[in-house]
Structure 1
């Protein structure tokens, strides 16, 4: 009885002993569980006529004390509640967890009433101040959230000397208050997460892949190497803006998260966190130019030009940003906010990062599933390289329990990109086979098919190491030479190791098939000289493209280059024989002298023959096309070297036989200088109106 009155007066003297107060068995005079009594929550004194004379005096004295005591304020009730929890903890420590039943003081109801009044005030027209605007309000909310949580645990987890009806009432009331308090904290948590965050401004939509042309060719392999190194540099530059919140915001978020998790509102807190950070990622995707898109949309609706020009470079840059900046920053952020709950921070980071990775990998798989076309190869290889370079870094980037799953997902996407790249490269064979034009290229020029295949291989050389890896790791079957042609036996090569790889074998197969196709196209020319000229012209283009790429030179091997050079010399000799050897025959001195006397008619016929053949060659071969300036110069020099000395010697010996004047002018049409001038007009791909007359 005395204890109950002391409790109802707000007196905490019982806690000063260091013992938890215990209630005796309820007596008829004990206050009702609903706290009824005076307006201030005090129990009504029992009727004096029911008490003995001494008890009545004591009761009057106590009632007088109650009337004189001021109403307990918030600070006093908070102190009483805190003292209750402290006492409970001390008793548990002393009894090693075997504390006796605890009596719940009556001021608990008054404390709950006080908190309810504050909540009613918040819910009224005034509303609660925004977090950070009134520091006292923020502190009040956090402190009382902590007290309410502790009180809830006390009521549900401890043996309390309390009537069942009162216990249920307190549990329901405390739970309702806790729900309202936590809803305020949840809203504050959301507002801080959304309004205090910073989207990094230095993200580059195009990334380093802006140095790629529309077909996917990188400007230089050295720049490709810079692509691999850039993420580390960007991480250093971007680090100040991650995890993207000022320190005071992080501190507030950590306090709120701690209270919500302690109060059993982990799911609500984590949901707000996940939604907020996913929104950040969506904004980053938007900033980088990579919109959310499904695999079906990529395959069926988005033009490849849009993917190649905008979306794939954005994807590559996004993946690099994620690996270098976003993921480390997200892990740091989760660890900072949920510092008191490491398992929660790891779970949140794993969930968030996995969602991001899966979204990016869906894009990669969609790109791999688009209709195969030659121009897609190098963009797919760019994506392949991105995944290849990120996968080894996963171990230090993600929690141990999630890293293997992410590795598996990324490796699967990388494999699909690799398999698609192999299929596209092997389709070069079909590109060659499908070129069935029956019309010869004018002027024996380099055939468009030759240019396409060799430019393709030249770009492929920039990806040699990647293609070697792709063919080595993702070739599903070993198949015989699809061209049906035996491989050329080039002998032991300086690059036997490379030549033995699946990629080198496929490149050789493409080259063999291209050679066979060109031989068929050469037969479309009626002139043997032009047919050989065509093969020489295309062969020279092929050889120069291979030699200009150190990577493709390694793939094809030194022996292949020597063999190709030997073929070119043969084509050149055949062209020279069919064209200029006939010209030289007209300048032959044999048969011009009989018994020491020059046969004038025969000399005239020889001059006429030379003039006619040279005119015809000049007329036709000036329309032949050699775009390679070096080859063009070499051909002209080789022609001049054999023709001009022979003509000069013939002219010097036999021109004097002709009668001066009209006869000489009629038969001696050219001077050696004229011959040289007209030879320099060959192979320009444009007809000349005629040849100049003999210089006087």
Structure 2
């Protein structure tokens, strides 16, 4: 049987009335639930804290309340039975949003756990690469995060995104600012940085590096995880909230770094600058690991890279200025007493040693900012010996300049033997530093190390030839016999000349300095190995010819064992008296 048009219209009207009545009944029921919950916290109790309880696991009543608000917001999409009912629903829903906004704020402000200072090292040193899991910083307990997630979902589903995000953003920025202050980070104006002396600025840089590392390794990851957990159903919102917070902090950090980069260059600043460069570099993955929207991520990364480039360029210029320091030191006219290691050698080789600890970072900086034409890439025709990077080439340049500088300084010594001792001391010091540092050894290369070892051995040979070949000539048997007989006057003169020469060598070379104990021992052993056997043989061969001669001790002043004692007194940097030698 086909229904008439009027019957269908009547049925539809009845159904709409039934549906409207059902919606109205549900609205009334949900409204009562919501109003009952809100009534418990009226009269400002929620704001004053009188009725606050410790935030723990969400109760069934609270969960029911969140569900009621969500359902009520969805029912408003249906036409109500009357305009008065619609107005009542909107009013209740608005009161519920105000209530949730206030509850959201209180939870965000009052439920923060111990500050990040609890997970940083007490000695203020650098953080470990990855803090132990039990020390990872979580701003809120998991139960609290779950509650915030429910509140955020309710407010967002009801169309209160602006209010929800504004409360979250303000509270988290305020807490982040508190954490930064507890880490002793305070904003310093650019003009103040330019006026600050280096010792004070160095302390500020140390604080800055520590704070920036805590941000990149602990605070930013924790903040990103929190936003993703609270707004788990709204990834674009969580990214935007984290991005805005991170950008504000990063800009403050970059302002300091940028001002430091503009300070006057000085050699002692290099390693602090390199620490800053590495710290800035580590900020990029901390704020862009899925935590920022594309546009915001690009903007922040661009600003980080720009400041990093300025720090990198300043570091490059400071390192390359080491060349000028060596060249300018060539004008020194006072030799180091005793042929000891020159202060310039200690300064340059230790500077390079520490620089090589930053090998990877400096290679990145040279690759990005250095002009290849300004760095000599080796002079040898053997391509296998050439440095493999611009940084390594610059290190080799500096070492070549240092070698030339030391060669020039050796000429300040009038005694040729002392020149060789000076070069040997400095060469050995360089070798020991290279040997003790895998980083600088890698940069210099095995071939360069072996070449330097050969040069130092040649200095040793040159010294020994310059000093002791003359002594050995005195102990030669030639010229002492005439017609098969020993010429006594000539023999006396030989013994006397030998004694005088040993006195003179001991007098001067006992004041010479060889601080490297192994080198000192090697020198003494090599001298003893050639001089003592020669003298022992000479004494055994010729001394008896002087038996019966008056004042024989005037000529034969030393026994072979005395010579060994004399040699053991060389290179100590102080004079041992002849009387002590003779008594021994």
TM-score range, shorter chain: 0.7 to 0.9
Shift of 1:127: 7.0
Equivalent of residue 167 in structure 2, options 252, 269, 272: 272
1:82 maps to what in 2? 26
Cα gap change, 1:360/1:205 in structure 2, threshold over 3 Å: closer, same or farther?
farther
Match of 1:419 in 2: 313
Identify the residue that residue 236 of structure 1 maps to in structure 2. Answer: 133
Pairwise CA distance, 1:358 = 3.0
CA distance in 1 between counterparts of 2:161 and 2:427 reads 72
Q: Is 1:202–2:119 an aligned residue pair?
A: yes
The answer on whether the counterparts of 2:243 and 2:293 sit within 8 Å (CA) in structure 1 is no
Is 1:460 aligned to 2:404, yes or no?
A: no
Structure 1 pair 541–175 and aligned structure 2 pair: CA distance change class (3 A): same
Residues 193, 201 of structure 2: 8 Å contact kept: no
Pairing partner for 2:418 from 530, 537, 560: 530
Q: Which runs of 5+ in 2 are unaligned?
A: 1-13
Alignment of 1:276-287 (within 5 A): 276-287=171-182
Paired with 1:124 and 1:565, the residues of 2 have a C-alpha distance of: 83
Asked if structure 2 preserves the Cα contact closer than 8 Å seen for 1:535 and 1:571, the reply is yes
Q: Paired residue for 1:122? A: 43
Deviations 1:538-577 (A, max 9, x none): 1222233223333333333344334333433343333223
| Equivalent residue runs for 1:354-433 within 5 Å | 354-388=247-281, 391=284, 396-401=289-294, 402-433=296-327
Separation of aligned partners in 1, 2:25 and 2:256: 56
CA contact (8 A) 2:105 2:168 kept: yes
Contact 1:546 1:552 in 2 (8 A): yes
1:16–1:292 Cα change, 3 Å = same
Residues 621, 527 of structure 1: CA spacing in aligned structure 2 closer, same or farther, 3 A cutoff?
same
User: 1:80 offset after TM fit, Å?
Assistant: 5.1
Alignment partner, residue 9 of structure 2? none
Counterpart contact for 2:212–2:279, Cα < 8 Å:
yes
Displacement of 1:202 = 2.3
Cα drift, residue 122 of structure 1: 1.5
For residues 211-234 of structure 1, give each alpha carbon's deviation from its aligned partner in whole angstroms, at most 9, with x where no partner exists.
xxxxxxxxxxxxxxxx5xx32xx2
Post-superposition offset of 1:400: 4.6
2:226 — aligned with what? 333
- Separation (CA, whole Å) in 1 of partners of 2:361 and 2:375: 23
Which among 118, 141, 160 is matched to residue 246 of structure 1? Answer: 141
Instruction: Give distance in 1, aligned partners of 2:110 and 2:313.
Output: 45
Per the normalisation by structure 1, the TM-score is: 0.70
The one of 488, 492, 498 aligned to 2:382: 492
Alpha-carbon contact 1:295-1:365 (below 8 Å) kept? no
Q: Is the 8 A contact 1:257 1:337 kept in 2?
A: yes
* Distance in structure 1 (CA, Å) of the matches to 2:195 and 2:450: 48
Aligned equivalents of 2:188, 2:165: Cα separation in 1: 27
1:10-159 equivalence runs, <5 A: 18-20=18-20, 82-83=26-27, 122=43, 130-132=51-53
The yes-or-no answer on 1:626 pairing with 2:510 is no
Instruction: Tell me the CA shift for residue 128 of structure 1.
Output: 7.9
2:451 to 552, 559, 563: 563
Contact 1:327 1:397 in 2 (8 A): no
Kept after mapping to 1: 8 A contact 2:46/2:52? no
Task: Point out the structure with the larger helix share.
Answer: 2
Secondary structure, counterpart of 1:269 in structure 2:
helix
Distance in 2 between the 1:125 and 1:461 partners? 60
Structure 1 residues 451-509: Cα deviation after superposition (integer angstroms, max 9, x where no partner) = 1111122222333233222212222563265xxxxx8744426554xx04211211111
Using the TM superposition, give the Cα deviation of residue 315 of structure 1 relative to its aligned residue in structure 2, in angstroms.
Answer: 4.6
Q: Which secondary structure does the structure 2 equivalent of 1:516 belong to? A: helix
The residue that corresponds to 1:548 in the other structure is 436
Q: Distance in 2 between matches of 1:632 and 1:125?
A: 82
Could you tell me how far 1:694 is from its partner in structure 2? 4.9
C-alpha distance 574-337 of structure 1, shift in aligned 2 (>3 A): closer
Once residues 459 and 124 of structure 1 are traced to their aligned partners in structure 2, the CA distance between those partners, rounded to angstroms, is 62
Matched, 1:346 2:239: yes
1:191 equivalent in alignment to 2:120: no
Distance 1:339 1:564, change over 3 A: closer
How far 1:209 moved relative to its partner? 3.0
Q: Does 1:654 align with 2:542?
A: yes
Q: What is the deviation of 1:662?
A: 5.1
Asked if 2 retains the 8 angstrom alpha-carbon contact of 1:298 and 1:367, the reply is no
Q: Deviations over 1:316-356 (max 9, x none)?
A: 55545444443333233223323444332222122122323
State the 1:606 CA deviation. Answer: 1.6
CA RMSD of aligned residues (A): 4.1
Q: How far is 1:670 from its partner? A: 0.6
Q: What CA deviation, in whole Å up to 9, does each residue of 1:387-439 have, x standing for no partner?
A: 54564676644245243334333333333332222112111112212323221
The residue number in structure 1 matching 2:7 is none
TM-score of the two chains, using structure 2 as the length reference: 0.82
1:636 alignment partner, one of 515, 521, 524? 524
SS of match in other structure, 1:446: coil
Contact conserved, 2:277 with 2:311, CA < 8 A, in 1?
A: yes
Q: CA deviation at 1:618?
A: 0.6
Cα separation, 1, equivalents of 2:460 and 2:45? 99
**128 and 531 in structure 1: CA distance in 2 versus 1, 3 angstrom threshold:** closer
Distance in 2 between residues matched to 1:268 and 1:376, nearest whole Å: 48
Distance 2:572 2:95 in 1: 88
Cα-to-partner distance string for 1:609-667 (whole Å, 9 max, x where unaligned): 11111111111111111111111111111211221122112222222222447521111
Task: Report if aligned partners of 1:490, 1:563 keep a CA contact under 8 Å in 2.
Answer: no
Partners of 2:126 and 2:315 lie apart in 1 by: 19
Q: How many residues align?
A: 563
Shift of 1:253: 2.3
- Give the direction of change, closer, same or farther, for the CA distance of 1:393–1:137 in structure 2 (3 Å limit): closer
**435-444 vs 195-204, which moves further:** 195-204
Distance in 2 of aligned mates of 1:320 and 1:127 = 38
Alpha-carbon distance between aligned partners in 2 of 1:637 and 1:127, rounded to the nearest angstrom: 88
- Does residue 1:593 correspond to 2:481, yes or no? yes
**Is the Cα contact below 8 Å between 2:512 and 2:571 reproduced in 1?**
yes
Contact 2:372 2:390 in 1 (8 A): no
In the alignment, the residues of structure 1 paired with residue 290 and residue 251 of structure 2 have an alpha-carbon distance, to the nearest angstrom, of 16
1:573 aligned partner: 461
Q: Are the aligned partners of 1:374 and 1:427 in contact in 2 as well (CA < 8 Å)?
A: yes
User: Relative to structure 1, is the Cα distance of residues 85 and 349 closer, same or farther in structure 2, using a 3 angstrom cutoff?
Assistant: farther
CA–CA distance in structure 2, aligned partners of residues 315 and 431 of structure 1: 29
For residue 308 of structure 1, report the CA deviation from its aligned partner: 4.8
How far off its partner does 1:208 sit?
6.1
